[in-house]
Structure 1
Amino acid sequence: MSDPIFPAVALFDLDGTLLDSAPDMVATVNRMLAERGRAPLALDAVRPHVSKGARAMSGAAFPELSMEARDALVPEFLRVYAEELGKHGVLFDGIAAMLDALEAAGSRWGIVTNKPEYLARALMPLLGWDTRCAVLIGGDTLSERKPHPLPLQEAARRLDVAIDDCVYVGDDERDIQSARSAGMASIAALWGYRLDHDDPLAWQADVILERSTDLLDPAHWPQQAAR
């Protein structure tokens, strides 16, 4: 039996999978609260909502507002967040070493996120990834976003690889739904952001990993996508 190897292409969600961006987003909502004379929120109160996007973050900060009123806060959230981007967040443990290991093994890696593309691209040079990330698909890059399969299908198309050559790693149910719909192998990242009622076992990912450092071992990756 051959030794386990990394997939030819590893695709990742961004927030909650590669990057602990919750501190940036907490700084954002706390600025919005301060402008309204309200007390700041603790990091733990906001962290579970991070992967759900700007609307969910606005809802966590202003739970008394209607859905329409929360939606109206999204442009303000994105404006303030752009100013806080990359100032407070850090990579999860082992992520930098894992990306080095992928590249050393001859694999390529990219990002498929529901974050607006302009914000995701702005992060790349801050993380030193602007020349390393082989493909980046944002939530507004295409006509569809996760959980639709199109973003993952387009990432594979741009890299000129088959779906079977890729593995997608994400911390949200939408990530795994997108991968399953695309026919792509997936890893559910339990170190990310989840609400209390989320059940990762129900997502039906090919692999579930508890720790970000688990990605360092190719034996933890689905081997049907290995080169």
Structure 2
Amino acid sequence: MRLRAVLFDMDGTLLDTAPDFVAICQAMREAHGMPPANEQAIRDVVSGGARAMVSVTFGIPAEAEGFEALRTEFLDRYQDHCAVHSRLFDGMEQVLSDIERGRLSWGVATNKPVRYAEPIMRQLGLAERSAVLVCPDHVTRSKPDPEMLLLACKKLGLAPQEVLFVGDDLRDIEAGHAAGCRTVAVTYGYIHPEDNPRNWGADAVIDHPLELRALLDQALCNC
């Protein structure tokens, strides 16, 4: 079946959002009278969300006293500074331009809440280019459940088999397979050091966004 759209996970796939997370974590440590944390340690757990980043930043478990106050502080700071340093990954602008020139649609299916995702898309000039944005707010079950991708396909008016989903987490690939989409795992995203995207069972694995161009050309030629 002909490929008609590409869906991207947001953090670690379409966008390098880690610099904003790191800046917030470091600002919090400074506000609490602590020296800077190891930046790579924060980046390594971005896919784990606010809880994981706060835990690493302050070296405490989620059940520790005061943890929820720190998590709330983190989320409040992120609300105000969610698109200061975030950018498309190197090469991704060329990929999006290729998709648009090829008359394909593209969109985002992310576990990031809409109150952060929408402002980021707007501030980076991507909202008007993206055909669809699906967040946890729009579904009852987030990835790895396929509901998010099935909703995106429905909004696009496409069958899942016509859609390629690109992600940097096992949950993305599991959701894509369950929905019936073709899948691509990326190694350049926020991968835990002990994880390996080549073991996730994706239809393809890429090390750089520009490698998507060849995959898209192949998919279109083979239709």
Amino acid at match of 1:169: V
- Pick from 69, 89, 92 the counterpart of residue 92 of structure 1: 89
The question of 1:131 aligning with 2:128 is answered yes
Could you tell me how far apart the structure 2 residues matched to 1:217 and 1:29 are?
37
Unaligned runs of 5+ in 1: 1-5
Deviations 1:168-218 (A, max 9, x none): 000011111111111211000111011111121221001011112212224
Cα distance change on mapping 1:219 and 1:140 into 2, 3 Å: closer
The question of 1:216 aligning with 2:221 is answered no
Tell whether the 8 Å contact from 2:51 to 2:62 is kept in structure 1 after alignment. Answer: no
Deviations 1:142-176 (A, max 9, x none): 11111111000100011110000001000011111
**Corresponding residue of 2:139:** 142
**Corresponding residue of 1:171:** 168
Tell whether the 8 Å contact from 2:168 to 2:187 is kept in structure 1 after alignment. Answer: yes
Cα distance change on mapping 1:219 and 1:22 into 2, 3 Å: same
Instruction: Describe the SS at the equivalent of 2:45.
Output: helix
**Corresponding residue of 1:41:** 37
Q: How many residues align structurally?
A: 221
Deviations 1:55-88 (A, max 9, x none): 1111211222343654553322111012221111
CA RMSD, Structure 1 to Structure 2 (Å): 2.0
Could you tell me how far apart the structure 2 residues matched to 1:118 and 1:203 are?
30
Could you tell me how far apart the structure 2 residues matched to 1:80 and 1:164 are?
39
Could you tell me how far apart the structure 2 residues matched to 1:94 and 1:126 are?
19
**Corresponding residue of 1:187:** 184
Scaled by the length of structure 1, the TM-score of the pair is 0.90
Could you tell me how far apart the structure 2 residues matched to 1:12 and 1:219 are?
14
Please show how residues 1-227 of structure 1 align to structure 2 within 5 Å.
Answer: 7-67=3-63, 69=65, 70-219=67-216, 223=219
